[in-house]
Chains A and B, each alone.
Chain A
Amino acid sequence: MALTGLVLAGFVLGHMTGNLLMFKGPEAINAYAAWLHANKGLLWGARAVLIISVFAHIWVGIQLALENRASRDGGPAADATRRATIASRTMPYSGVVILGFVVFHLLHYTFRTVALGGVTFGDDVYKMLIAGFSNKLVSYFYIVSMLLLCLHLSHGVSSVFQTLGLRNERWRARLDGLALAYAWIIALGFISIPLAVLTGCLK
């Protein structure tokens, strides 16, 4: 979970930073997209690492959830929670929604087969994003998914440190804070684009 999560958490940072080029104008984002696609070896290398990480993350996650459910044996009738966060308790659920989002997102902007009205945009990524996010329902789905990603990351990123044994009582609060900040930066960075399109800041 930790190692694959680390890859994926690193990926979303890169993805988000790249997306922000939208605000620099059509030339910047289109040039960036062209540059990403120019080196096929690098592109497919990165994609391979991501695909393996995603599948491993899901596989281990399912195993974890099933094993843990069985181990609890139903739990107490009057279950009390002292400190487990909402984020930590909803990891499988936020994960499932994010997976659904990823599938939709790939069909939407990578394979370009859904919610684009059959228009082909070619290399004009800027135009495609504006058109894509002009659909309110699609934008809302992106925003909700990114808020769930924020929830998922807030627990996941701090857990990475615990799993790798790099955490103690002194650093726990700081690392939790760091994870929360990281999660919000990622989420707000992604959300800024559909939000800018919806409010008409990006045309």
Chain B
Amino acid sequence: MVQDNGKEETLALKLRVWRQRRGQPGAFEEHSLAAVPTSASFLEMMDMLNEQLIKAGKDTFAFDHDCREGICGMCSMTINGMPHGPIPGVTTCQLHMRNFRDGETITVEPWRARAFPVLKDLAVDRSAFDKVIQSGGFITVRTGSAPEANNIPVPKPVADEAMDAAECIGCGACVASCKNGSAMLFVGAKINHLNILPQGQAERDRRTLAMVKTMDEAGFGNCTNYGECQAHCPKSITLDVIAKLNRDYLRARVKEFFSSTGKPSKGGD
């Protein structure tokens, strides 16, 4: 914020930042950081901290980031216990320091979940999400001869719903905020995105069963309807996707159970 004298307001902060090497136990490190502009993003503040550490000849903090405009899903960090910080519907890169007070102590830690092991400091390994996507987060099209998009009519409400689910950037805040470390919001978003579109029908049941199986194997927890994921999702994905994931999963399981083998049964009539 710009003050009356035309200068930008700055903050002096106390930072408790998580320091950890892969496979080893970690601990918080305390640092003071002065002259942080209120217009800086949280990541820019972390850059300032790292520069200060470099100048002092110390090791920097590792953290994930990429586009810094809230769409890539790379940035993470649990800030004062909240994934992506205190402002709902915002990623860490779009979180500005004007949302913090001068002299405040800020606790910065990585996503905490068994399925997301810490790589270094604040960076965690989110490849469990990639495995879930690989198991069913796709549709079959012949690449090289992709059909004309408008050949398949998609009703507007369906397209809207699919786009709402497709807003998920796969950052993992749902898992980090869930008190069960569950990935249901992520998997629900991906399944909804593809399962309701006509292009996604061919693999619908297979996709649902495979993605849920992969999710379970990756060590994510189970949904007990806390609703924390929705409250922390930077893209405000709603619990609707979990209800619909449950519905599609039930449907797929029932269909699988009563699926035809194509052969007459032995014995009987």
Contact = CB atoms under 8 A, between A and B. Distances in A.
Interface of A: 64, 67-68, 70-85, 88-89, 91, 155, 158-159, 161-169, 172
B179 A89 contact: yes
* Top 3 A-B residue pairs of the complex, sorted by shortest distance between their CB atoms: A165-B247, A71-B221, A80-B81
Contacts of B82: 80, 82
Contacts of B232: 82
B112 A76 contact: yes
Contact of B221 (A68, A81, A162): A68
Interface size class of B (residues with CB under 8 A): 35 or more
A61 to B, nearest CB: 10
Nearest to A161: B243
Nearest to A74: B112
A85 B226 CA distance: 7
A165 B114 contact: no
A175 to B, nearest CB: 10
Given A67-B221, A84-B227, A72 B179 contact: yes
A71 B180 contact: yes
Contacts of A82: 82, 88, 177, 228, 231-232
Contacts of B134: none
A167 B243 contact: yes
Contact of B250 (A73, A80, A155, A165): A165
Nearest to B108: A78
Contacts of A84: 179, 226-228
Nearest to B245: A165
Contacts of B179: 68, 72, 75, 81, 84, 89
A68 B178 CA distance: 10
Given A79-B81, A88-B224, A162-B239, A71 B219 contact: yes
B97 interface: no
A77 B177 CA distance: 12
Interface string B228-261: 1011100000111011111110100000000000
Contacts of B226: 83-85, 88-89
B41 interface: no
Nearest to A159: B225
Given A161-B243, A162-B239, 16 more contacts: A71-B180, A72-B113, A72-B181, A76-B78, A76-B81, A78-B78, A78-B109, A82-B228, A82-B232, A84-B227, A88-B225, A163-B225, A163-B246, A165-B247, A167-B239, A169-B239
Nearest to B230: A83
B46 interface: no
Nearest to A167: B243
Which of B225, B246, B250: most chain A Cβ within 10 A?
B225
Nearest to A64: B222
A68 B247 contact: no
A77 B28 CA distance: 10
Given A76-B112, A162-B246, A164-B250, A71 B181 contact: yes
Contacts of B227: 83-84, 88
Nearest to B246: A165
A80 to B, nearest CB: 3
20 contacts: A67-B221, A68-B221, A71-B115, A71-B220, A71-B221, A72-B178, A72-B179, A73-B112, A74-B112, A76-B81, A78-B80, A80-B80, A82-B232, A84-B227, A91-B224, A162-B225, A162-B239, A165-B244, A167-B239, A169-B238
Contact of A155 (B114, B115, B225, B228): B225
B91 interface: no
A64 B224 contact: yes
A68 B225 contact: no
Contact of A73 (B181, B225, B238, B244): B181
B38 interface: no
Contacts of A64: 222, 224
A76 B78 CA distance: 7
Interface string B87-102: 0100000000000000
Contacts of A162: 223, 225, 239, 242-243, 246
B20 interface: no
A166 B243 contact: yes
A77 B115 CA distance: 18
Interface in B62-95: 78, 80-82, 88
Contacts of A158: 225
